[in-house]
């Protein structure tokens, strides 16, 4: 596997996000009105993204985006269904955590949902803890927000 640093304009990252949206529509679209999330998932402010390749094939990706001076937000993490369960998601998130530490951020936050049990398990394994819903997600009870303290500066477990 190759983990390639890029940004939100990368065509392979954009395509991976399209596949993520398609998968979310399939998995939770009947239970949750997903349109209200679109404005929070725009790619134009993403300066740090990683695309995961196996050979020339894109198998996943994810990004981080500045939330405030000390906090960065984990965004758009997705590993293609046929590659899930191999530790790729854990490695991807670990590398995004390391990048956030390199950039000097003290905390990482994310929004997910309880319906995405596999994602929640990865985040908890990597040290994220459930917090009160923040910012745009405060009035969205179907959202589950999590945070991880990055101040220790330790390299995260690569999974």
SS3 category, 65: strand
Compute the average pLDDT of residues 129-155.
85
Model confidence at 29: pLDDT above 70? no
Are the C-beta atoms of 144 and 131 separated by less than 8 Å?
no
What average pLDDT does range 14-42 have in this prediction? 68
Segment 74-99, tens digit of pLDDT: 999 999 999 999 999 999 999 999 99
- Examine residue 159 and state whether it is found in any structural domain, yes or no: no
Question: How many separate domains does the chain show?
Answer: 1
% helix / strand / coil in the chain, to the nearest 5? 35, 30, 35
Mean pLDDT of the chain: 86
Residue 113 lies in a domain: yes
Q: What is the dihedral of CA 66, 22, 139, 124, to 10 degrees?
A: -60
Rounded to whole angstroms, the Cα distance separating 1 from 54 reads 5
pLDDT at 44: 65
Q: What 3-state class would DSSP assign to 95?
A: helix
pTM: 0.85
State the pLDDT at residue 23: 85
As a whole number of angstroms, the distance between CA 123 and CA 17 comes to 19
Q: What is the pLDDT of residue 152?
A: 64
Is position 156 within any domain? Answer: no
Confidence (pLDDT) at 155: 43
- The domain that holds 107 is classified in CATH as 3.40.630.30
Domain that holds residue 80: 2-149
CA–CA gap between residue 48 and residue 104 (Å, rounded)? 13
The tens digit of pLDDT for each residue in 97-130 reads: 999 999 999 999 999 887 677 888 999 999 999 9
Task: Flag whether 155 is in a domain.
Answer: no
Question: Does residue 157 lie within any of the structural domains?
Answer: no
Residue 47, in any domain of the structure: yes
What pLDDT score does 43 carry?
Answer: 63
Examine residue 154 and state whether it is found in any structural domain, yes or no.
no
Question: How many beta carbons lie within 10 A of that of residue 138, not counting itself?
Answer: 11
- If one compares 151 and 57, the residue with the highest pLDDT of the two is 57
**Percent of residues, the chain, with pLDDT higher than 90:** 63
């Amino acid at each position: 596997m190759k983990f390639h640093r890029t940004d939100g304009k990368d065509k392979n990252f954009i395509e991976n996000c399209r596949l993520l949206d398609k998968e979310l529509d399939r998995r939770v679209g009947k239970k949750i009105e997903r349109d209200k999330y679109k404005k929070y998932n725009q790619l134009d402010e993403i300066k740090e993204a990683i695309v995961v390749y196996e050979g020339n094939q894109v198998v996943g990706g994810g990004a981080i985006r500045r939330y405030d001076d000390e906090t960065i937000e984990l965004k758009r993490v997705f590993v293609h269904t046929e590659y899930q369960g191999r530790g790729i998601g854990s490695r991807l998130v670990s590398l995004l955590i390391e990048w956030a530490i390199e950039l000097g951020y003290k905390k990482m936050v994310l929004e997910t949902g309880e319906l995405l049990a596999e994602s929640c398990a990865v985040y908890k394994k990597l040290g994220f803890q459930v917090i009160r819903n923040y910012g745009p997600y405060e009035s969205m009870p179907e959202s589950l927000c999590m945070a991880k303290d990055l101040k220790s500066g330790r390299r995260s477990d690569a999974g």
